[in-house]
A and B are shown apart, each in its own frame.
Chain A
Amino acid sequence: KQEVTQIPAALSVPEGENLVLNCSFTDSAIYNLQWFRQDPGKGLTSLLLIQSSQREQTSGRLNASLDKSSGRSTLYIAASQPGDSATYLCAVLLLKNGNKLVFGAGTILRVKS
């Protein structure tokens, strides 16, 4: 059974710091991996989607990497801002078992001004 783990569960940093969020998965048979952002009381917004054949994706201050063989992904946020405070979720799309997204529990990020 695919399991997705996110470390740390919570992170607090001062404004301006660069930071890395980690995601690991147990089964490398994935089609893609996505990072989502969730604000309190809101739905999920897709930030970056990395296909299994890709190594990384970038969007503005965000960079996500994927190492399928080791079952790891990282989300790098440069020059963090208070507006980045949210819960960040990673999810993998499986090639089997009904082709569904499996989510990690998320990392709660707080950027202090």
Chain B
Amino acid sequence: NAGVTQTPKFRVLKTGQSMTLLCAQDMNHEYMYWYRQDPGMGLRLIHYSVGEGTTAKGEVPDGYNVSRLKKQNFLLGLESAAPSQTSVYFCASSSGTFKETQYFGPGTRLLVL
């Protein structure tokens, strides 16, 4: 049972480049989330999805877009990367509502030069 997986594990981008981070879960969870973690700031919610075909903004959505075309996948896109987006990105999923435990992926470390 793989749980939540993230691709890639590490990426270096130049300012202005674009990329997509992929999150996949095999637990048939309805809810999925993207967070970023910066030193000394804890995790902050970027976007989330409450089901296939739905997305919603979190606390820090600017500069990111997301898509949930399939229930098991949640994509996070950066259209024009900026150094301020250097961070570790975590995907998570949960079975029903925010009331239940979220399961986290191993993270993607992104460096924007």
| A positions within 8 Å CB-CB of B | 4, 31-32, 34, 41-46, 49, 89, 91, 93, 98-101, 103-106
> With A34-B101, A42-B107 in contact, is A105–B56 under 8 Å at CB?
no
> With A100-B48, A100-B59 in contact, is A31–B104 under 8 Å at CB?
no
10 further interface pairs, Cβ-Cβ under 8 Å (given A46-B103, A49-B101): A31-B99, A32-B99, A43-B104, A91-B42, A98-B56, A98-B58, A100-B48, A101-B45, A101-B98, A105-B42
Give the residue of B40, B42, B44, B56 whose beta carbon is less than 8 angstroms from that of A89: B42
Q: With A and B bound together, what is the CA distance between A5 and B98 in angstroms?
A: 21
Q: Find the B residue at minimum CB distance from A43.
A: B104
Within the complex, the shortest CB–CB distance from A76 to chain B, in Å, comes to 20
| B positions within 8 Å CB-CB of A | 4, 40-45, 48, 56, 58-59, 90, 92, 97-99, 101-107
Question: Are A101's CB and B102's CB within 8 A?
Answer: yes
Question: Are A46's CB and B102's CB within 8 A?
Answer: yes
Question: Are A43's CB and B107's CB within 8 A?
Answer: yes
Within the complex, the shortest CB–CB distance from B13 to chain A, in Å, comes to 20
Question: Are B42's CB and A106's CB within 8 A?
Answer: yes
